Amino acid sequence: MVKNYSLKTSKNNFLQVSVFFAENVNYDKSLIFVHGFKGFKDWGFGPYIGEYFANKGFYTITFNFSHNGIGDNPLEFTEFEKFQENTFSLEIEELNDLIDSIRNGFFENLKIDSKIGVCGHSRGGAISILTCSNRNDISAIAIWASVSKLDRYSKRQKEEWRKKGFFEVMNMRTKQVMKLGIELLNDIENNSDRLNIENAVRKLKMPLFIAHGDQDLAVPIKEAEEIYEWSDKSKTEFYKMIGTGHTFHVTHPFHNTNPKFEKLLDKTYKFFFHSLQVN
């Protein structure tokens, strides 16, 4: 079963949320999937992930960050002004709001003291780490194709960015030119400690699962290797995926799954199954 919610955040924005669950079950373990840059909950494998983990016994939550560019049309970018105003810090705050909503009993069929796992893809992996490193109520984190740093811009790019007031990025799928606002640059420069992924990984107290394709052209696998190097090896599993890229051969619109993506799902499931055991 799928149910949609609109969750008001602490800054009076709204997160569009989809939850996947079986009827008449009171869940004691939940899984939040965090999308990445130019991603959204209904992109490609999003709904498939929701159904997959719900069928495995998890109350599964997918959502859109309020400023990810998706509005009334759940499958296309239309809110370009909001996209331009987005920041990393805002996404961290919103993921915290979503986790807090579980603890406050916002979701039906989910216990407020449920075990929570967080799975983030690409930039969503970084946001997951930065958020969960400062919480003590998360049981485990999985990151797929995650970045190891959020400051990915050269000095020249930043100078041009500040001069223009925006930085242009191309959405290669839709061919839309999308702008990053000066707010994001200010966030990078003013919150370097808060956004330091190495420090956050070193602070993690919960199990960590890292998965990355060796043919990832968007985020090189060396970034996964960096995260693994910073991690507590006794609590970390690193799954190097051979012969696959940033989205594991899954495209949008979603047409079908594939053996390598299914193996990733299976390994991620086993990781969360063991890490979210309820006593």
pLDDT for 151 equals 97
Residue 278 pLDDT more than 90? no
Indicate yes or no: pTM above 0.95: yes
CA 121 to chain centre: 5
Pairwise CA distance, residues 273 & 132, whole Å: 19
pLDDT, tens only, 41-66: 999 999 999 999 999 999 999 999 99
pLDDT, tens only, 165-224: 999 999 988 899 999 999 999 999 999 999 999 999 999 999 999 999 999 999 999 999
Residue 225 pLDDT more than 90? yes
CA–CA–CA angle 67, 106, 98 (5° rounding): 35
* Contacts of 144 by beta carbon, 8 Å cutoff, 6+ apart: 119, 120, 121, 122, 125, 211, 212, 248, 264, 268
| Average pLDDT along the chain | 97
Give the mean pLDDT of 241-269: 97
pLDDT for 279 equals 61
pLDDT, tens only, 136-152: 999 999 999 999 999 99
CA-based nearest residue to 237, from 250, 246, 248, 224: 224
Strand partners, 17: 5, 63
DSSP H helices, the chain, are: 46-55, 80-85, 88-103, 123-132, 155-164, 182-190, 197-203, 221-230, 259-275
Percent of the chain exceeding pLDDT 90 equals 97
pLDDT for 172 equals 87
Task: Given CATH 3.30.565.10, say whether it is the number of domain 2-152+192-275.
Answer: no
pLDDT, tens only, 75-107: 999 999 999 999 999 999 999 999 999 999 999
pLDDT, tens only, 106-130: 999 999 999 999 999 999 999 999 9
